[in-house]
Structure 1
Amino acid sequence: MVAADGQTHALYHCRVFHARYRPFRHAFSYKVWSLLLDIDRLDDLPSPLTHNRPGLLSILDRDHGRRDGSPLRPWVEGVLADKGVHLSGGRILLFCFPRVLGYGFNPLSIFYGFGPDGDLRGVVYEVKNTFGDQHCYVIPTPNGLLNHAHAKEFHVSPFFDIEGGYRFRLSLPGDHIGIDIHYDDAAGPLLVATQTGQRRHLSTRSLWSALARHPLVTLKVIAGIHWEALKLWRKGAMFHRRPDPPVRLETLAERSARSISTTGQTMVEP
């Protein structure tokens, strides 16, 4: 998406919300900020944000894709092409957290792949866990469809096993962004996670403003994960040992027949 001012880079002030349903209820929310970046324009970033260089804020190619520092476009085009999606040189946008003072952790990064005519053709969800593993769910988006489902392939939380499946719902990143993920098993809903946010112009001023509000956003994310894990453990949540990562690094998601709202906390089911 291109904003009214012609920019594709953007900053989003967001709220993250998680609710666990079973075997007991547990919910939390917190504020963060994230970036939406055109991966072909990463050398055109406002300070203090840098690309592949040390800095107060940085975006590193080695944090995404093959995680070896290689360029991101060939990887995104390749994983989408393997699933029958061809971008033909169209734009690719990355939604993620930056590194702050050299530290970074992205539980979920999203690549949006567009055709030359600006139509959304595919999405790649890049999921990481705190053990350093990564798995990607690759999603063709015929007619801009942003409602998808897939069996769970990847160990994320030690308090859930590998059973069940995900339902994903996205909104196109414009003035607002919405990401909803439902995790269910045969017995019903297990977890819902959302991230909703409002767009701001990406500039030196907006970056310093975001840092003033949430100065160590990536540390806040990882600290929040471990703090909530401690509370789950104290409540008696069952611990599941980490299984071997899946052999396949990317899997194809399918269309979802169920509609999911993108209105943040109001979408939580009873």
Structure 2
Amino acid sequence: MKERSALYVGRVRHHRFRPRPHALSYRVFWTLLDLDEIDEIDGLAGELRLFSRNRFNLYSFRDADYGDRSGKPLRPQVEAMLAEAGIAHDGGPIRLLTMPRILGYAFNPLSTYFCYRRDGSLCATVYEVHNTFGEVHSYVAPAVLDGGVLRQEAGKVFHVSPFMGLDMRYAFTVTPPDARVSIAIDAQDGEGRMIAAVLSGERVALSDTALLRLLVTHPLLTLKVTAAIHWHALRLLAKRIRWRPHPAAPARGFTLGSAAAPHAKGPLQP
């Protein structure tokens, strides 16, 4: 199997601090897909029997699940976004961390593009957020690594949960994919810290054997993600957390974030 693409097996944790505490933790896995590898004629789908591109299989990747959802190649879409954001990218690798379709079904609350220069240095990240209302929005931020850790900020403009408003700011603390990957997100409003979430995983070679093993250890993962979102929504309603109306989606497809100064790590951060 080619080395640029891989699996990451780990856990997602989420903690809400106000107005009443609420927490969750689930075992999950992601694929890290190099967009050049999946675009090659003899790419990933040609090397794996259990993984296909744009057709049904046990595991699959569908271009139309991402970007503008037109099904057009993703690399030009990401490069156009970076150029519009004023972030220089010289054609280096772009790798997407996301959950695959499993038996034809997928829902990804967060998919992350790691955009590299040709010399291997990271120049930007694109956080593609999907909500359960069928909408998508991206946060684009330049990358400045500090001791192997990436810190970025962005104002919240996209409706994700009916239990949180838009008057918030995100802080990202990221360890880019290597032997492990982690993405920690803190969100604060005018009263302070509201939520903290972190996904983290260990690298596993992408192979049919590994995919079969994950089918046993993480059965119907993507369906469980959607079920968990609705289950926890019911629990938040039971806790009488305020339900907020759904605002209009941003007219622009992405929001530009910024590199952030080092800050103290929260309890859920790696």
TM-score normalised by length of structure 1: 0.93
1:125 is aligned to 2:127: yes
Deviations 1:118-168, CA, capped at 9 Å, x for gaps: 111111000010001111001111457721111110000000111111111
Corresponding letter in the other structure for 2:220: L
For 1:146, the equivalent position in structure 2 comes to 150
Does the alignment pair 1:86 with 2:93?
A: no
2:143 aligned partner, one-letter code: T
Equivalent in the alignment of 2:180: 176
Q: Which runs of 4+ in 1 moved over 3 A?
A: 142-145, 265-268
Within the alignment, does 1:32 sit opposite 2:28 as a pair? yes
Aligned partner of residue 247 in structure 1, secondary structure: coil
Correspondence for 1:18 among 8, 14, 34? 14
> Closer, same or farther in 2 for the Cα pair 1:104/1:26, shift >3 Å?
same
Following superposition, the deviation at residue 38 of structure 1 comes to: 0.5
Deviations 1:202-255 (A, max 9, x none): 000001111111121101111111111110100111001111101111111012
- Deviation of 1:260 (Å): 5.2
2:101 pairs with one of 96, 99, 102: 99
The structure 2 residue matched to 1:227, chosen from 200, 219, 231, is: 231
The equivalences for 1:161-172 within 5 A come to: 161-172=165-176
For structure 1, which runs of at least 5 residues remain unmatched after alignment? none
| 1:124 and 1:137 in contact (8 A); partners too | yes
Name the count of aligned residue pairs: 262
Does the 8 Å contact 1:113/1:120 carry over to 2? yes
Q: Distance in 2 between matches of 1:47 and 1:261?
A: 42
CA RMSD, 1 decimal: 1.7
Quick check: 1:83–1:140 contact (8 Å CA) kept in 2? Answer: no
Q: Residues of 2 paired with 1:261 and 1:32: CA distance?
A: 23
Kindly provide the CA deviation profile for residues 60-112 of structure 1, in whole angstroms up to 9, marking residues without a partner as x: 11011111000001001110111222322211100000111111100000001
CA contact (8 A) 1:77 1:86 kept: no
- Whether 1:196 and 2:200 are equivalent positions in the alignment is yes
Pick aligned residue for 1:238 from 233, 237, 242: 242
**Contact preservation (8 Å) 2:197, 2:268:** no
> Identity of aligned pairs, percent?
41
Change beyond 3 A, Cα 1:99–1:260: farther
| Offset at residue 6 of structure 1 (A) | 6.2
Structure 1 residues 40, 222: closer, same or farther in 2, change over 3 A?
same
Structure 1 match to 2:44: 44
Does the aligned pair in 2 maintain the 1:165–1:185 contact within 8 Å? Answer: yes
What is residue 249 of structure 1 aligned with on the other side?
253
Provide Cα deviations, 1:17-59, integer angstroms capped at 9, x if missing partner: 0000000111110101111010111132422111111212110
Q: Distance in 2 between matches of 1:173 and 1:267?
A: 16
Question: Tell me, which stretches of 5 or more residues in structure 2 are unaligned?
Answer: none
1:65 is the counterpart of 2:67: yes
Contact preservation (8 Å) 1:61, 1:71: yes
The 1:26–1:143 alpha-carbon spacing in structure 2 relative to 1, beyond 3 Å, is closer
Partner of 1:54: 56
Instruction: State the match for 2:218 in structure 1.
Output: 214
1:112 aligns with 2:114: yes
What is the alpha-carbon distance in structure 2 between the residues aligned to residue 63 and residue 239 of structure 1? 28
